[in-house]
Every structure is written in C-alpha cells, then in structure tokens.
Amino acid sequence: MSRPVPEYAKLRNATLLSRSSVPLAAGEWTEALPLPGTAVSTSEIQVTVPLQAGACVGVAKFGVAVLAPNSTDTLGSAATVWLTVGSPATAADLQAPDGALRALGSRRATLSLVNSHSPPLGLSATTVSSQFTVNAGETAVSLQIYVDRVVIEAFANGGRAEVVAEEYAPGNTTAVHLYSEHSTRLANLSVHGMGCGWA
C-alpha cells in the first residue's frame, strides 16, 4: 500500500475543472475535457467512479487518457490509466482455492497504466498494474492521477493500489479524455494545476 504524499495537496495552484454528477455514455471516449492549454501537463486529476450494487453486476471498466491528443481518433498514442473492478464475491467464490483470501461481497480490482511511448526511445508500449480489493459495502472507487510532463502516477482508494510510469508523449499532447464500459455518472471530477515541488 502506497499513499500519495500529503505535500502533493500543497502544490495545487489552480482549479482547472470541478464538476459533480458527470454523465458518461457506454463504450465511448469523451471529447477532450475543457482545460486551459498545456496547464494540465502538470496536474492532479481526481475522479470518483461509482460501482453498481448487486451480486450479478459484471466487470466495470473505466479509463482516463492523459498526455493525449485532442482527437479521440488517435488515443492510442496516449498514456491511459485503467480501473477494472470484478463482480462481488459469492459463497461459491469462497470455496475456490484462494477463497480464504476474499470476503463475501468484496471485489477484485486492478489499476493499470498503459504508456504507449515508454523509455528509452519512446517507441515501445508498456503496462504496469497493481491489484487491490474493493471491500464489501464500498460503493465507489476514488482515483488520484498526478501528471508531471512525462511522469504519471495513479492511486486508487487513497493508496490501496499505485502505478507509476514515464510517458514520452509526442508533440503537444496534453488533453484528458474519459471512458466507461457502461453508462454511468461520476460522483465528482476535478483537475488541479500543480506547482513545482522543487521550488
């Protein structure tokens, strides 16, 4: 478990976007969020992803593309944070060999970061992932994503999972796009500009 350091909050120097109850259509990337210029290349993105209730709910998949082009046609060149949440564990799941590691109603989840232009030459794609548990009764997953020009660091549920990678983004690619496999309504979405931590 690795939590974002408290000092990150002190680096916020502007609120670039703040919304609640944000609707997302199923299976479609949003247009680029309305953010001012290249300010988002050093930013903090906070989003709360609701989870549907019920034992029959299937896998939920949510994505945030950062250091991305404005057009949704070329998002393959973006760095993308993915959240995947499985179905709640049932009594049958607890009889599996690893069932003792789970609790009834808990969900297995994965936080991943796909960076499409990884070092050293900026031409290869890599994926880093971290698995965690969404506890029974939890109705949402919070994401905090920090972008610092070429470094992306993402946390789920305050540090229950963490991924970090370098992205050698080509050109002026600083847009942010959102994706949801199912139609949903985000509880909140905010983007803060961040100052230099070395100042």
**pLDDT for position 102:** 73
- Between the alpha carbon of residue 6 and those of residues 73, 98, 147, 149, 190, the distances in Å are 37, 35, 16, 20, 18
Flag whether 75 is in a domain. Answer: yes
Q: What is the CATH number of the domain that holds 137?
A: 2.60.120.560
**Side-chain half-sphere of 70: how many Cα atoms within 13 Å?**
6
- Best CA proximity match to 111, nearest among 168, 48, 154: 154
pLDDT digits (tens, 9 = 90+) for 66-83: 988 888 887 777 889 999
Residue 81 one-letter amino acid: V
Domain extent for 170: 7-194
- In total, how many domains does the chain have? 1
Burial class (CB in 10 A: 0-12, 13-18, 19+), 57: middle
Distance CA 4, CA 6 (A): 6
Q: Model pTM greater than 0.85?
A: yes
Flag whether 2 is in a domain. Answer: no
pLDDT digits (tens, 9 = 90+) for 155-166: 999 999 999 988
Contact indicator for 90, 55 with CB cutoff of 8 Å: yes
Flag whether 1 is in a domain. Answer: no
Contact indicator for 75, 175 with CB cutoff of 8 Å: no
